Amino acid sequence: MITILNDNFSQLNTFLHEKSFSKIFILVDENTHEYCLPILLGNMETDLGFEILEIEAGEEMKNIQTANQLWEILTEMQADRKALVINLGGGVITDMGGFVASTYKRGIQFINIPTTLLSMCDASIGGKTGIDLMHYKNMVGTFAFPEQIFIFPKFLETLPFKELRSGFAEMLKHGLIADKNHWDQLIQIRKLEAETVIPHIQTSMNIKQDVVDKDFHEQNIRKTLNFGHTIGHAVESLCLQQGNPILHGEAVAMGMIAEAHLAYLENLISEADASVIIENVQRYYPYLDINDFKDEDITALLLNDKKNTDRKINFSLLSGIGSCTYDHQCSQENILESLSFYRKLNNA
């Protein structure tokens, strides 16, 4: 299912050769067109005809208008039920392309070739596709699995540093929720760059895949992937509303710090473990100033979280380094205390 590609993409070529596709449609954004498509085309060997579908880069493109354009292009180019969509890009491309492919003619086959760290370790795995609706993220989508996920880690060599660091937050999260050894290895990394991160990608992908395999419909253990995301998402939304969008991983890093302290306040982890987590996450991410956000605004968003039931805020909180609980309801006092703790870190 997940294949790490050789330098000559031989596994992809075998896959294309063995399946009887009618035509290939490669979805890219402007950046993956420039940096990744030449590498793919230079190695792809197939007799099949192919078309390149390019969209502008950015989350703003992940909407129904873009989906509609892509459906129309597929129709005009007479893509039939045996056509293959290749999603070559970050999470925007894999979410969008998976959504378009899984709905066009009630579903045609697609493969993901993720090109960001976030899409390699997270977005391309797990069978969720989707687009944003109004200002709600991933409101409309499908559960649909790619035929294959092909990883070519060297694509990360052209990825901007901030994007790499953003994806790294999900890797740290994978270690924290499921695999202490992975966490221990990651925090050995002094300088974040493609070369230092690449050796750890496979472990991180496997953690996500394992969790999804155990609980595809997010009834139980898949919820642990939300660690750091309850407070993180609220802050991500507030930054966006304020006109200062931050990267998802930056919000998750902030969320993991606040929620590590919250886990300590809720007596789930020791103070020593909380400190180790917080100090290490802080090493990689600049402090995110949340002083402009009122407690009420943050809690209002926490109450709105998709994971909640019966108007109670459900947290996924660590119960150790390498283990995680879910559906944990915290006292209001502790939630506010964890935010106040984060605010004070600025002066520490």
Active site residues: 106, 128, 170, 208, 218, 222, 226, 229, 233, 248
CA separation for the pair 246, 252 (Å, rounded): 10
Does the protein bind ligand NAD through residue 236 (CB under 6 A)?
no
Does the protein bind ligand NAD through residue 273 (CB under 6 A)?
no
Tokens of 56: 């502008």
Sequence-ordered list of residues with C-beta below 8 angstroms from that of 51, at least 6 positions apart, any chain: 23, 24, 25, 26, 77
Query: Residues 161-190 vs ligand NAD: string with x where CB under 6 A?
Result: --x--x------------------------
Does the protein bind ligand NAD through residue 121 (CB under 6 A)?
no
Q: Which residues pair with 243 in a beta bridge?
A: none
Q: In this chain, which of 22, 35, 215, 308 binds ligand NAD, going by CB under 6 A? A: 35
Piece in contact with ligand NAD (CB under 6 A), picked from 25-33, 177-185, 259-267, 274-282: 25-33
What are the angstrom distances between the C-alpha of 196 and each of 154, 157, 178, 188, 301?
Answer: 12, 11, 21, 10, 36
* Distance in Å, CB of 65 to ligand NAD, minimum: 15
Piece in contact with ligand NAD (CB under 6 A), picked from 68-76, 89-97, 236-244, 291-299: 89-97
Does the protein bind ligand NAD through residue 29 (CB under 6 A)?
yes
Does the protein bind ligand NAD through residue 323 (CB under 6 A)?
no
- Amino acid occupying residue 71: W
Q: In this chain, which of 12, 31, 70, 236 binds ligand NAD, going by CB under 6 A? A: 31
- Identify the helix (H) or strand (E) that includes residue 323: strand 323-324
127-166 residues near ligand NAD, rule: CB under 6 A: 128, 137-138, 155, 158-159, 163, 166
CA separation for the pair 143, 126 (Å, rounded): 9
CA separation for the pair 138, 60 (Å, rounded): 12
- Identify the helix (H) or strand (E) that includes residue 3: strand 2-4
* Distance in Å, CB of 142 to ligand NAD, minimum: 10
Nearest CA to 307 out of 191, 226, 192, 240 is that of: 226
Tokens of 235: 């802050």
What is the binding site for ligand NAD (CB under 6 A)? 29, 31-32, 35-36, 57, 59, 62, 89-93, 95, 115-116, 118-119, 122-123, 126, 128, 137-138, 155, 158-159, 163, 166
